[in-house]
């Protein structure tokens, strides 16, 4: 039994191997068996609030600092006041909490996310920042997209929609980009759900950006190295990416 093996390993001082985050290689989302509510349930709201509290803690966690450095740079480069930021997939405003600690810049901040998160975020911030479920038509100074593109079935159309906003700068943070071809997989660690997930070819993102008039001006790898030992070596992501596009 699994629990018995785990207990023996613990008593021997050998840690149990971590459960995989992803499993399988698929061509499309339609090929993937999905279960549970994923990010649409109450668990997602509670998790976003926990992240918000982490951003407000003293000291701010080091990974939170690193994940918002590029956003802070983009805001500083705007060189205006206030800077209009649209946070696409921004939960209950946790990145706003981080950003206002990292810069002294006045912000006009808007979060775009699913209705349950929009409702809760509006309750938390009481009008200090705006929440909505659509991206809108007004070009922001900075468009921030953190760890969300992998969940759109038609990720290509959504990338084109983001590049069509006319934002002066677009920051993709914790982007699940690969140097291989794009492929789909199953994410296993989301609130007792199994949900479709894209690993997206970085070359494809850069090409779509260029067609929309954007140039990639900064690219870096984040620190964490993800274990994908259950995937062929050529498909492994290793680390997520931070990308800054400017037009």
User: Could you report the per-residue pLDDT of 218-231, keeping only the tens digit for each?
Assistant: 999 999 999 999 99
Return the sign of the alpha-carbon dihedral for residues 159, 165, 168, 173. negative
Rounded Cα–Cα distance for residues 213 and 111 (Å):
24
Give one DSSP letter per residue of 62-104, joined into a string.
HHHHHHTHHHHHHHHHH-SSSEEEEEET-TTTHHHHHHHHH--
User: Could you report the per-residue pLDDT of 74-121, keeping only the tens digit for each?
Assistant: 999 999 999 999 999 999 999 999 999 999 899 999 999 999 999 999
User: Could you report the per-residue pLDDT of 140-151, keeping only the tens digit for each?
Assistant: 999 999 999 999
Q: How far apart are the first and last CA of the chain?
A: 57
pLDDT at 245 over 80: yes
**Average pLDDT over the chain, rounded to whole?**
90
Please state which of the ranges 21-30, 48-57, 146-155, 202-211 shows the lowest mean pLDDT. Answer: 48-57
pLDDT for 47: 87
Q: Which superfamily is assigned to 20-246 in CATH?
A: Vaccinia Virus protein VP39 (3.40.50.150)
User: Could you report the per-residue pLDDT of 164-208, keeping only the tens digit for each?
Assistant: 999 999 999 999 999 999 999 999 987 777 999 999 999 999 999
pLDDT at 3 over 80: no
Cβ(171)–Cβ(143) below 8 Å: yes
- Percent of the chain's residues with pLDDT above 70: 90
Predicted model pTM: 0.89
Q: Residue 10 is inside which H or E element, if any?
A: helix 2-12
């Amino acid at each position: 039994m699994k629990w018995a093996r785990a207990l023996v390993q613990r008593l021997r001082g050998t840690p149990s191997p971590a459960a995989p985050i992803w499993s399988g290689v698929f061509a499309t989302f339609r090929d993937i068996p999905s279960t549970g509510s994923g990010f649409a349930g109450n668990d997602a709201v509670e998790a976003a609030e926990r992240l918000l509290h982490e951003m407000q803690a003293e000291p701010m966690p080091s990974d939170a600092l690193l994940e918002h450095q590029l956003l802070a740079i983009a805001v500083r480069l705007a060189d205006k006041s206030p800077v209009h930021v649209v946070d696409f997939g921004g939960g209950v405003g946790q990145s706003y909490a981080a950003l206002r600690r990292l810069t002294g810049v006045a912000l006009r901040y808007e979060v775009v996310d699913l209705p349950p998160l929009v409702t809760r975020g509006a309750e938390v911030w009481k009008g200090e920042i705006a929440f909505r479920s659509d991206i809108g038509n007004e070009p922001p100074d900075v468009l921030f997209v953190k760890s969300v593109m992998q969940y759109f079935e038609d990720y290509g159309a959504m990338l084109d929609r983001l590049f069509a906003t006319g934002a002066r700068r677009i920051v993709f943070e914790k982007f699940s980009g690969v140097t291989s071809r794009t492929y789909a997989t199953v994410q296993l660690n989301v609130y007792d759900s199994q949900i479709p997930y894209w690993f997206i070819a970085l070359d494809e993102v850069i090409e779509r950006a260029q067609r929309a008039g954007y140039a990639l001006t900064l690219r870096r790898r984040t620190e964490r190295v993800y274990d994908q030992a259950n995937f062929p070596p050529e498909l492994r992501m290793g680390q997520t990416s931070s990308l800054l596009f400017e037009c």
